[in-house]
């Protein structure tokens, strides 16, 4: 693959409790594939190096992907991003969640291409930052650590300390015209919507 992809690790966060769904959503089947398999298929098409952040590695043993645990307990998505950056051997990571069944490889490649001179590249879709569909550089580690230590667990908590590139909706649309990439599955209602999209 191009050098661009070799200098970045594709990361899948699979550490959530799935409490609103009532079961491990990553293992739920949509369109004949588990959610985590759908995510992994697209990530493999884009990245040479992959990492799965999970505290239940036996559940995902069949994926054949390097797995690392959360290194900062009970810290949510911010802790997952931190764990990925701590364990990655590349200057940057592109982080997605395991419950995003409609990832678009073209959009991921676009985000990767924007990362020069920035510490974070994050889509801002209709005034909502898509922090679990974003690029983070190793320069984020220390600012994230300070936020974790202060129990400031929102992903955007450290953004004022780093160089952030927001990718606008108009930039996203050529790569994902229906904005499906950001649809994640947290609730049974989200799941029903995903089923309709998958079969539509």
Q: In the block, which residue shows the tokens 């990655």?
A: 88
* Residue 35 and residue 26 in contact, taking contact as beta carbons nearer than 8 Å: yes
Tell me which CATH homologous superfamily contains domain 3-199. Spore Coat Polysaccharide Biosynthesis Protein SpsA; Chain A (3.90.550.10)
Residue 190 has pLDDT above 80, yes or no: no
Res. 49 pLDDT band, cuts 50 70 90: very high
Who wins on pLDDT, 193 or 12?
Answer: 12
**What is the DSSP-derived secondary structure letter of residue 23?**
S
Who wins on pLDDT, 183 or 65?
Answer: 65
Query: Which pLDDT score is estimated for 1?
Result: 43
Kindly report, residue by residue over 68-124, the tens digit of the pLDDT: 999 888 899 999 999 999 999 999 999 999 989 999 999 999 999 999 999 999 999
Query: Which pLDDT score is estimated for 194?
Result: 76
Residue 13: phi, psi to the nearest 5? -90, 125
Query: Which pLDDT score is estimated for 2?
Result: 46
Who wins on pLDDT, 5 or 69?
Answer: 69
Rounded distance between C-alpha atoms, residue 175 and residue 159, angstroms? 25
Residue range 45-51: mean pLDDT, rounded = 96
Taking alpha carbons only, the member of 144, 164, 150, 157 closest to residue 71 is 144
Taking alpha carbons only, the member of 117, 122, 152 closest to residue 134 is 122
Is this prediction's pTM over 0.85? yes
Query: Which pLDDT score is estimated for 47?
Result: 97
Query: Which pLDDT score is estimated for 32?
Result: 80
Res. 19 pLDDT band, cuts 50 70 90: very low
Kindly report, residue by residue over 122-176, the tens digit of the pLDDT: 999 989 999 999 999 999 999 999 999 999 999 999 999 999 999 999 999 999 9
Ranges of each domain in the chain: 3-199
């Amino acid at each position: 693959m191009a050098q661009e992809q070799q200098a970045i690790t594709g990361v899948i966060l699979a550490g959530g409790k799935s409490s609103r769904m009532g079961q491990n959503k990553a293992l739920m089947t949509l369109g004949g594939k588990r959610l985590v398999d759908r995510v992994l298929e697209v990530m493999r098409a884009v990245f040479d190096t992959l990492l799965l952040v999970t505290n239940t590695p036996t559940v995902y043993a069949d994926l054949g992907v390097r797995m690392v645990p959360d290194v900062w307990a009970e810290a949510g998505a911010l802790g997952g991003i931190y764990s990925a950056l701590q364990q990655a051997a590349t200057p940057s990571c592109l982080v997605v969640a395991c419950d995003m069944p409609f990832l678009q490889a073209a959009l991921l490649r676009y985000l990767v291409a924007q990362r020069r001179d920035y510490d974070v590249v994050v889509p801002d879709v209709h005034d909502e930052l898509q922090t679990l569909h974003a690029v983070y550089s190793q320069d984020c580690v220390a600012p994230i650590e300070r936020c974790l230590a202060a129990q400031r667990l929102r992903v955007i908590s450290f953004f004022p300390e780093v160089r952030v590139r927001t990718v606008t909706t108009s930039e996203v649309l050529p790569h994902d015209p229906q904005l499906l990439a950001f649809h994640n599955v947290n609730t049974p209602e989200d799941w029903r919507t995903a089923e309709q999209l998958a079969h539509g």
